Structure 1
Amino acid sequence: MTKKFEQRLRMMYSRDGMTAEEGFADLLAHVEEHTEDLIAAFHAELASPEPNLAMRSWLLELISESRSDAALPTLVEQLYSLDHSLSFWARCGLEKLDTKQARIEVWKARFSGVLKDDFA
């Protein structure tokens, strides 16, 4: 992790809404550079004994914007999450990734009934 990434991530955890939004926006603008770091931060947040549900969702949103093949396993895993915000961002990420494997995973989720329709 670079210092810049760590600084932006700390900003996202700020109690000040404007600072948190600024950290998110900065990471969004550089999401391609930080995909691996975002995935690591997301998994660390999942493993946290004190979950921050909003941060999980925000991190997965950023991961979904990366359009990176490295994000595929995380997105597929979260597609089946019981947390609707996580499954939503996972689906968005897979649709944006738009690779053959990503399309197969979305199709499998639809076929299994996990995805009810295109507007859920």
Structure 2
Amino acid sequence: MTDRTLKVKRFGPKRGGPYPYLRLDIAVKWRQGGDVVQLVAINGLSFRQAAASLGLSPTTAWRRYWWWMDSTLPAHWGYPDGPIPPQRGTRACPRGRPYLPTYDGPNAKPRRSRRPAAP
């Protein structure tokens, strides 16, 4: 066989990019996000300190924190839960808060602050 007829696969099977192979179980992501929120928002640690205590990188801790906050946002305002939001800081949501259909959609009721108006 010559080099032209022999096809050698050097890098294994063709993959469709890293995204399908790097998905994390949603329960693990939810637990990590809740732990980061507990440490950062309630205990007052920095993302770097929270990440070190949980064994995550600071970037992952920041992403888990905002993913958890985005997932609970509709329920916080009394809206039904929608689809799982994309994670901030990734290709699916490169900047800002992701679009949440039950919270931002056309059928969403207007939001008002929970604080009472000043007398």
Give me the TM-score of the superposition, normalised by structure 2: 0.29
Structure with the bigger percentage of helix? 1
* Larger of the two Rg values belongs to structure: 2
Structure of higher RCO (CA pairs closer than 8 Å, 6+ residues apart): 1
